């Protein structure tokens, strides 16, 4: 029995040993020694990192990496932009080119339409201006016996208003081109847009010479204190009409360029008035830069002095003729008896003529001083009255005779 129990005990022990060999060994918890080893390895790793070159900059590795990524991204963006702008500039898609071309064509078409509309509007305005200038009634006739062209200025209607008050002071100037030697003017009609003139002017021109000339009728707005404004004009080439019978018609005025003021010269005049004696002395001293009237490019000038009181002619005087000169020296004095009570309404008219032995003397230019004058004319007269018994000298610019005559005919404001 003892043997059997001993054998069973050995078999059981052998089975237990086999089971223990098959089971995995139990996991032992980490010891204090292993933790110490792990910490020493981590410290060694960070010590090696601190010995890298970036330690001098004081930046960690993750910062350097981030900066590197940002710099590379910026470089890539710049390269892409350069490629799109420069290299790929000429390679535009066909559709884009077509869209751009279409926009350009539409823009040009729009500008063209606007230009046409503007042009049409300007033409309409020009036509409206032409229609609003007014019209003139005149007559033409030719006297073959006397070789005279007779021009009648009858009336005007619906003239353009040139003054601030919505009216005009119209008159008509009539002359022939290209001669322009003889000019006529109607009387000034004050504040009237439908003036009646009924005046006739005669040009003595041989019929054989008439075909190469042009009749000009200028309608002006008179201005006492400045240049006269041109309202409109009518030009009639003589070779375009039949003078075999009288012509009577209305014509619309057209806009024309202002006639350039021709330089006629200047004259120096000295005035002296003695109130106690009632004596006015006019001294014609000299003239300069006179207009050339003769074929040789010179003139034979002399001066006529006319004294008027309240528009009525009192006396006239003439200087001697200076031959072949445009800058004559006269120094000739004329005295007139004028009471002090009348001196305020006295006018002195100065006209420079070119002497002609065979025909009539041609006026070079004219000026006037005294009552109703403007500019230098009234200033010279005022200086004379303010300095009694003393001669006062002044240069005066010569104006066309017909312009001065028109100013004298106009009512004094």
Of 354, 356, 350, give the one whose Cα is nearest residue 292.
354
Q: Percentages helix, strand, coil for the chain, rounded to the nearest 5?
A: 35, 30, 35
Which range scores top for mean pLDDT: 52-66, 113-127, 156-170?
A: 156-170
Residue 2 class from Cβ within 10 Å (0-12 exposed, 13-18 middle, 19+ buried)?
Answer: exposed
Of 337, 318, 213, 217, give the one whose Cα is nearest residue 275.
337
Residue 102 has pLDDT above 80, yes or no: no
Q: Give the pLDDT band of residue 195 (cuts 50, 70, 90).
A: very high
Q: Is 39 or 343 the better-scoring residue by pLDDT? A: 343
Tokens of 279: 């004596």
Q: Is 293 or 236 the better-scoring residue by pLDDT? A: 236
**Residues 8-18, mean pLDDT to the nearest whole number:** 61
Q: Is 122 or 299 the better-scoring residue by pLDDT? A: 299
What is the residue whose two structure tokens read 């098959």? 22
Of 403, 392, 394, 346, give the one whose Cα is nearest residue 371.
346
Q: What is the mean pLDDT of the chain?
A: 79
Q: What percent of the chain has pLDDT over 90?
A: 35
Residue 133 class from Cβ within 10 Å (0-12 exposed, 13-18 middle, 19+ buried)?
Answer: buried
Residues β-bridged to residue 133: none
* Cβ contact 378:337 at 8 Å: no
Report CA-CA distances (Å) from 368 to 213, 329, 379, 396: 32, 20, 11, 9
**Model-level pTM?**
0.46
**Residues 306-322, mean pLDDT to the nearest whole number:** 90
Residues β-bridged to residue 185: 173
Q: Is 226 or 271 the better-scoring residue by pLDDT? A: 271
Give the span between the Cα atoms of 119 and 113, in whole angstroms. Answer: 10
Would you give the end-to-end CA distance of the chain in angstroms?
A: 177
Count CA atoms closer than 13 A to 38's CA, side-chain side: 6
**Residues 207-229, mean pLDDT to the nearest whole number:** 83
């Amino acid at each position: 029995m003892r043997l059997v129990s001993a054998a069973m005990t050995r078999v059981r022990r052998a089975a237990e040993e086999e089971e223990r060999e098959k089971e995995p060994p139990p996991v032992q918890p980490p010891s204090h020694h292993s933790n110490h080893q792990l910490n020493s390895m981590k410290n060694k790793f960070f010590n090696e990192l601190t010995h890298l070159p970036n330690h001098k900059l004081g930046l960690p590795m993750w910062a350097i990496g981030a900066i590197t990524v940002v710099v590379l991204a910026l470089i890539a963006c710049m390269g892409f932009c350069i490629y799109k702008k420069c290299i790929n500039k000429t390679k535009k898609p066909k559709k884009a080119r077509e869209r751009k071309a279409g926009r350009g064509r539409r823009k040009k078409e729009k500008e063209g339409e606007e230009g046409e509309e503007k042009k049409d509007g300007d033409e309409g305005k020009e036509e409206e201006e032409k229609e609003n200038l007014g019209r003139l009634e005149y007559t033409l006739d030719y006297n073959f016996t006397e070789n005279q062209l007779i021009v009648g200025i009858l009336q005007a209607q619906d003239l353009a208003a040139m003054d601030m008050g919505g009216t005009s002071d119209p008159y008509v100037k009539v002359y022939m081109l290209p001669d322009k030697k003889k000019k006529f003017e109607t009387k000034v009609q004050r504040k009237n847009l439908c003036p009646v003139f009924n005046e006739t002017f005669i040009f003595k021109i041989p019929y054989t010479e008439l075909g190469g000339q042009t009749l000009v009728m200028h309608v002006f707005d008179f201005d006492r204190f400045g240049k006269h404004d041109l309202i409109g004009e009518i030009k009639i080439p003589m070779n375009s009409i039949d003078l075999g019978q009288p012509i009577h018609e209305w014509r619309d005025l057209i806009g024309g360029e202002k006639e350039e003021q021709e330089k006629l010269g200047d004259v120096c005049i000295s005035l002296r008035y003695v109130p106690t004696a009632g004596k006015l002395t006019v001294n014609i001293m000299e003239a300069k830069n006179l207009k050339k009237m003769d074929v040789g490019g010179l003139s034979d000038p002399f001066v006529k002095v006319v004294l008027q009181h309240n528009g009525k002619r009192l006396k006239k005087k003439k200087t001697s003729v200076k031959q072949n000169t445009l800058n004559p020296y006269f120094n000739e004095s004329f005295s007139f008896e004028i009471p002090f009570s009348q001196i305020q309404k006295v006018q002195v008219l100065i006209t420079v003529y070119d002497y002609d032995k065979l025909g009539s003397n041609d006026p070079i230019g004219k000026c006037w001083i005294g009552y109703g004058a403007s500019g230098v004319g009234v200033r010279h007269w005022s200086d004379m009255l303010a300095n009694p018994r003393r001669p006062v000298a002044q240069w005066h610019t010569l104006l066309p005779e017909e312009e001065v005559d028109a100013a004298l005919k106009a009512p004094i404001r």
